[in-house]
Amino acid sequence: MDIPVLRAEIGIDPEAEGHYRDISGIKNTSGIHTHDFYEFFVIVEGATYHCINGRKEIAREGALVFMRPHDIHYYEQLPDTDCRLINLSFYEHTLTDLFAYLGTGFPKESFLSSPDPVTVQLSRQEKLLLQERLEKLSRIPQQEKQRFRTELRSILAEVYGRYLLHSVVLERDTKPMWFADLILEMNKPERFLEGLSAMVRLSGKSHAHLCRVFKQWENQTPQAYLNRAKLQYAENLLLRSSRNVLDIALEAGFGNLGHFYKSFKAMFGNTPQQHRKLYHARFTPLV
């Protein structure tokens, strides 16, 4: 099968150096393709299957994905939902210039050689801030190409420096394999609902050792990590179903409804009912 190659010289203005797209609905995305430029995209509403380099994963609201030239990808719609994403593509030399500016301390080779693109899950507040920053590009008049290029480069420095340098790449280079495997396993509902006992059993480490490693690599305690996983699971149930809050809290492992409300608001900034109402108000899945 011949994979179409999207080329910068066709889709990106050379003076502006970048191209902004706000895409509503998977039907408006390209099919399977690769390209000769860099890009990143962020899911601002909904969720989608992201099929990348032979793998399929779910990209949910807040997913920030850093694509590289020659990655092969496309999107598939999830049942009963759709998504909106913002895509920013830019010339290869534009990012090469940024890498040169950041210097040898930036782990460029790790980013380029990893089997899959780096994905960062943004908090709701981080997503909104990035979305607002990107949407400013769409308001720059077409003829002001130099201004667009300056804004583009400013955004790239912020996004790659903040989300790729510290949060992801360095950790992927040096994180112990057993710990990376444990994190993957503990993201499964049956594991994080079992709690710390599952973590200790699967890792073969003591609780004290796990606390030290979690502090080093996740900057939080094992229990805080589990609580976050449970809250993210509860949020998915809240937004993707019509089940009542009590049922959702119980399924997510919260036996105390008051504790669930307090924890949910601390993480998402709203009560569960407010969070559901706001989500449904701004996004209605395509049918």
Question: Which residue reads 């970048």 in tokens?
Answer: 18
* Amino acid 166: pLDDT: 62
Domain boundaries, the chain: 5-174, 177-282
Give the length of the chain.
287
* Amino acid 168: pLDDT: 47
Helices (H), the chain: 8-11, 92-102, 108-113, 124-138, 145-159, 170-174, 177-186, 189-192, 196-203, 207-217, 222-240, 245-251, 257-268, 272-282
Its CATH architecture, for the domain 177-282, is: Orthogonal Bundle (1.10)
* Amino acid 175: pLDDT: 75
Query: Which of helix, strand or coil describes residue 230?
Result: helix
Q: Which two tokens stand for residue 75?
A: 């999107």
Report the C-alpha gap between 175 and 168 in whole angstroms: 10
Tens of pLDDT, residue by residue, the chain (287 residues): 688 999 999 999 999 999 999 999 999 998 999 999 999 999 999 999 999 999 999 999 999 999 999 899 999 999 989 999 999 999 999 999 999 998 888 878 878 888 888 888 888 899 999 999 999 999 999 899 999 999 999 999 999 988 887 644 444 446 788 888 898 889 889 999 999 999 999 999 999 999 999 998 888 999 999 999 999 999 989 888 889 999 999 999 999 999 999 999 999 888 999 988 887 776 554 44
* Amino acid 174: pLDDT: 64
* Amino acid 244: pLDDT: 93
* Amino acid 112: pLDDT: 84
The CA-CA-CA angle for residues 175, 178, 184, to 5°, reads: 85
* Amino acid 172: pLDDT: 47
Report the C-alpha gap between 170 and 8 in whole angstroms: 29
Verdict on whether the full-model pTM lies above 0.85 = no
Question: With b meaning 16 or more CB within 10 Å and e meaning fewer, what string describes 74-105?
Answer: bbebbeebbbbbbbbbbbeebbeebeeeeeee
- Please state which CATH class domain 5-174 belongs to: mainly beta
